[in-house]
Amino acid sequence: MRRLLRSPLLWTLLSSVAVLVGVTAWLLTDRATSRGDALKTGALAGGAIAALYGLWLNDRRRRTEEDRHEIERSRISDERFAKSIELLGNDADQVRVGAMHSLAGLARTRPEYRQTVLDVLCAYLRRPFEHPKFDPDADWGDSERKAAAERERLVRRAAERLIRDILPHSGTTGPTFSLNLSDARLDKLGLLGRRVGWFGADRCEVLTYLDLTDTQLSGKFLLENVTIHGEFVLTRASFERKVSLDNTVVETAVDFSEATFAEPPSLEGAKFAAGSTLPVASGEDGY
């Protein structure tokens, strides 16, 4: 009985009847209004109450259905994420690449996963990795070992490309995402025209290049105790907070004049190849 009394349908019906009777009775007080017109107008008023209830009920059902679909999407996304993480440990290089692309697709369709997927890809690049280009003094007499190392190098390049693709473009608004590449071995990392928050790559090693062309770095940029065997490209890069390249070695010439810095970068113990154009010292023109 109590449940019936709390039913919105019951109260809607009672309200409709009350409105019908009330409007009809009120109109009948006017002698110029016929009984038929009064009943018709009262019925329309009562029907409007029922129609409003129908609209509310449809909206409630729609929101319930949307919530159900969102729960289902979240469940599917969680399962997809877990399966992709599992496949990253597969022995077949094509399976690992497929898992990375699955994670990248999840990051694009479910924005709440973007930072997590970036963390996973960065963690993959921190996995132990040997290659004749990185370790020329090692014994690479086994041709199969060299071939496996080259396949893994291509997998890691896929991870580097996907990191760039997931990051938002420079000049856009919205969430910023961080990259933690400390202790990673990088081959060709290009963050071309992307927007990055905090960037950390302590004790990292870069083989071919680290390209920051048109990159907007809104957080701290910490590239300490790093060796870059190839190019370090700063064309139109924008550093909005602290930059530290302490004890970093770059074996090719670097042109710091191509970038803009909010404050002078720290270069304590850093070494750059001959021909490098170093930043203007603190207090001089440009800062």
Residue 97 lies in a domain: yes
Domain edge (last residue) among 64, 79, 107: 64
- Residue of 1, 4, 24 lying closest to 13 (CA atoms): 4
> Do residues 174 and 242 share a domain?
yes
Torsion of CA 276, 281, 282, 283, to 10 degrees: -140
> Do residues 173 and 145 share a domain?
no
> Do residues 188 and 125 share a domain?
no
Q: What is the DSSP letter of 168?
A: P
Residue 71 lies in a domain: no
> Do residues 202 and 132 share a domain?
no
pLDDT at 283: 37
> Do residues 44 and 97 share a domain?
no
**Which domain does 152 fall in, by range?**
88-166
The mean pLDDT value for 184-191 works out to 96
Residue 148 lies in a domain: yes
User: Do 185 and 125 meet the contact criterion of CB atoms below 8 Å apart?
Assistant: yes
> Do residues 150 and 195 share a domain?
no
Residue 76 lies in a domain: no
More confident residue, 74 or 14: 74
What is the distance in angstroms between the CA of the first residue and the CA of the last residue of the chain? 78
Residue 70 lies in a domain: no
Q: Over the chain, what is the mean pLDDT?
A: 83
> Do residues 10 and 50 share a domain?
yes
Assess whether pLDDT exceeds 70 at residue 284: no
3-state secondary structure of 39: helix
Burial of 234 (0-12, 13-18, 19+ CB in 10 A): buried
**Cβ atoms within 10 Å of 174's Cβ, excluding its own:** 8
> Do residues 204 and 242 share a domain?
yes
- Residue of 185, 184, 166 lying closest to 175 (CA atoms): 166
Domain edge (last residue) among 121, 141, 166: 166
Residue 186 lies in a domain: yes
Q: What is the pTM of this model?
A: 0.76
> Do residues 155 and 188 share a domain?
no
Can you tell me the distance from the alpha carbon of 284 to that of 19, in angstroms, rounded to the nearest whole number? 82
Number of domains in the chain: 3
At 159, give phi and psi (nearest 5°). Answer: -65, -40
- Say which amino acid occupies 172: T
Domain edge (last residue) among 48, 64, 80: 64
User: Do 160 and 219 meet the contact criterion of CB atoms below 8 Å apart?
Assistant: no
> Do residues 104 and 205 share a domain?
no
> Do residues 172 and 285 share a domain?
yes
Assess whether pLDDT exceeds 60 at residue 265: yes
Residue 111 lies in a domain: yes
- pLDDT tens for each residue of 42-99: 555 555 566 666 666 676 777 777 667 666 777 887 898 999 999 999 999 999 999 9
- Residue of 55, 5, 49 lying closest to 23 (CA atoms): 49
Can you tell me the distance from the alpha carbon of 72 to that of 201, in angstroms, rounded to the nearest whole number? 38
Can you tell me the distance from the alpha carbon of 246 to that of 267, in angstroms, rounded to the nearest whole number? 5
- pLDDT tens for each residue of 129-179: 998 888 888 887 778 888 999 999 999 999 999 999 999 999 999 999 999
3-state secondary structure 94-160: HHHHHHHHHHHHHHHHCHHHHHHHHHHHHHHHCCCCCCCCCCCCCCCCCHHHHHHHHHHHHHHHHHH
Residue 21 lies in a domain: yes
> Do residues 151 and 178 share a domain?
no
How distant, in Å, are the alpha carbons of 16, 64, 100, 205 from that of 125? Answer: 67, 42, 12, 11
